[in-house]
Amino acid sequence: MPTRAARRSPSIRYGLRRKVYGLVGVLLLAPPLHAQWIPQQSNTTASLRGLSVVSARVAWASGSGGTVIHTVDGGATWIADTVPGASKFDLRAIAAFDANTAIVAATAGRVWRTENGGKRWTLVYENADSAVFLDAIGFWDAERASARRGLVLGDPINGRFFILSSDDGGRSWREAPSESRPAARQGEGAFAASGSSLVMRGAAHAWIGTGVNVARVLRTIDAGKTWTAAAAPLADATQSSGVFALSFADAARGVAVGGAYDQPIQRERSAAVTTDGGFTWTAATAMPNGFRSGVAIVPLTNGAMVVAVGTNGTDVSYDGGRSWTLADTVGYHAVRFAADGSGWASGGRGRVARFARDSIKRP
């Protein structure tokens, strides 16, 4: 287990703290290298690692200095704000339901909620214990305005991952009983590089990607009451390596990406796929072009098209994550898509971009 001082080190915290289905008919050939992203003006210079895409018009992002940005017109304009009382915190995870409602989590054990498009934020959870480090937030059926049940993932404390749960759409949070929190190996943690080390599907499925001298995926099918663990064939030799991000097309088909954040051009062991809900994972046959911190399966493509981003560019897969092709060389931290196929990426120095719709290859 790293010392508490090491856990606070900025050089470690980037990632440390962290913190497919067959071919559709015949193989869809990847296009030649060209920009997949349409850059937009975010009106901030913050590092944006939290990202939540609601629809073709509505998206939210969060990041350093307590920054939250959102758009309600497809990115033509972005509104940038600082959450009151959060200017000293890094908001690496955000979950939005619509143009008005969003919940954001600070790594330093705090959660805020807005119901009026960021005009007012309410502190709905606070834990002053310096051991609490929050990595990701998610909701079951988050695409529905009535979504109520959610989880916040934090790094392990006393040998078990820290979990918060909500039954009222994020208005209040409670710590999960210790016995229901997944057990961690010595030193193991989650990465807060893109807010996607926790992903949720349907009514009760969720997965957690882990790292730090290990690469595993934890899985629940009963809304967090119990968890199972599976090894993932991603880089796992150092404190900077492991599973950084997950995305699932359904309860069976998923993709994991990562590698080692301090070796951004190393391709080996940076992506894997599952077709059995995360019980077993298989390494990609053609890896992304380096470390990847964010991944998203593109809706409306039957799970075939997947986008992964990292500090040295974007890769696209047209076979569910089995093989990857470099599509863009601009660095991003996070990528997300809405159910309607609209997608955005966010990154350092306020970088935000919309995915080019003509790049989406449908079955």
Asked if the structure places residue 139 within a domain, the reply is: yes
Asked if the structure places residue 273 within a domain, the reply is: yes
pLDDT value at residue 7: 39
Asked if the structure places residue 5 within a domain, the reply is: no
Asked if the structure places residue 2 within a domain, the reply is: no
Residue pair 47/332 in contact (Cβ under 8 Å)? The answer is no
Q: Is the pLDDT of residue 255 over 90?
A: yes
For 165, the token pair is 């749960």
What pLDDT band is residue 125 in, cutting at 50, 70 and 90?
very high
pTM of this structure: 0.90
pLDDT value at residue 363: 73
Q: Is the pLDDT of residue 4 over 50?
A: no
Sheet bearing 121-126, strands edge to edge: 93-96, 102-106, 110-114, 121-126
Q: Count how many domains the chain has.
A: 1
pLDDT value at residue 144: 66
Cβ neighbours, 10 Å, residue 22? 14
For 178, the token pair is 């210790």
Strand partners, 15: none
pLDDT value at residue 36: 86
Q: What is the pLDDT of residues 286-336, one digit of tens each?
A: 999 999 999 999 999 999 999 999 999 999 999 999 999 999 999 999 999
DSSP string, 145-188: TT---EEEEEEEETTEEEEEEESSTTS--EEPPGGGSPB--TT-
Asked if the structure places residue 6 within a domain, the reply is: no
Asked if the structure places residue 363 within a domain, the reply is: no
Asked if the structure places residue 10 within a domain, the reply is: no
pLDDT value at residue 146: 63
Report phi then psi at 185, rounded to 5: -80, 170
Report phi then psi at 109, rounded to 5: 65, 35
The stretch 236-242 carries a mean pLDDT of 97
Q: What is the pLDDT of residues 32-88, one digit of tens each?
A: 444 589 999 999 999 999 999 999 999 999 999 999 999 999 999 999 999 999 999
- CATH of residue 338: 2.130.10.10
Residue 159, domain extent: 15-358
Asked if the structure places residue 81 within a domain, the reply is: yes
d(CA 348, CA 210): 23
